[in-house]
Every structure is written in C-alpha cells, then in structure tokens.
Structure 1
C-alpha cells in the first residue's frame, strides 16, 4: 500500500489504518467520495468503561453477559485478572 499525504510525504506498508473519526476522509475516499454524508443520529446514547469483578456475584461459568430491555442494553466481558469491560446503550435522545 502506498499513501501520499497532503504535504507530499510518501508512506508505504502492508496495511493502512485510517483512524480519523466519524467524518473520516479515509473512509470517504475508499467509497470514491470527496466527503461523507452527515451521519443519521440513532437517538441512542452509549457509555463504556471497566470495573473490578472481585466480590461481585458474577457467575464464574461465563466470561460475558448481555441484558436487553425496551430501548436499553447492558453488557460486560472479562478482560483479564478479574477486570471487566462494560458497555451500555439507551435510547434517551440527545443529551
């Protein structure tokens, strides 16, 4: 893969990772566009983080769980050494 930056710098490699966000110029160019359309707001707010699992009544047979409710979702998964990552989504509208 060969990439030429705006300042003329050339970079070559086996892969290219474009981590330039929601309004990604990289993703737009890969789709043959000058720029992407504005995103459509899904009316969902998300949170993520981690917690220590020690002392919590978690079922040891499972390394993850996900719970769904009306417009809500919560899940967690083991990331090692008794620590867990969690994610949560809720259709609350714009905050």
Structure 2
C-alpha cells in the first residue's frame, strides 16, 4: 500500500466518523482533518458528503435540505444556508 491509498482510507474513515458523531464541533474537526489529508495527497473527497463553506456533514433532514428545481437538485446547508446545485441530466430533467 502506498501513502495515497492509506490517506484515502483514512479520509473515508474520518468522513464516516463525522457522519455518526452527535457533537457538531467534533464532526467539523473530522471533516477539516479529512480535507487537509486529501489536499496533501491530491485525493477527491466527493462533493455530496459535506458543506464546502462551513464543513458540516450533510445528513438529509438534520443538517441538509434537498430540493428539486428546474433540472437541478439543490442541497441547502441548514448551518450556513450555502446552496449547492447538482444538475440532473437526461430526458426527464425538466
């Protein structure tokens, strides 16, 4: 195993721990650590697991509001009101 694979596993573990954590401060700390590790090793964490602005783990109904609007799915962070748009491709996108 090289360092990049180990870093990727560690990031996945930290994101999973952050999602299960009840304490918001500790959860944000896990996300911060995962982002630092990912940047150092040039690993993509994915865009649908946490808020880019405040670092809150997105849990639908608890920390995230999901809406559909004009060919896009909107993720709205309930902590900082950041809106993330994910386009819907295909025939039924309207």
Bigger strand fraction: 1
**Is this a same-fold pair by TM over 0.5?**
no
Bigger helix fraction: 2
More relative contact order, 1 or 2 (CA 8 Å, 6+ apart): 1
TM-score by length of 2: 0.26
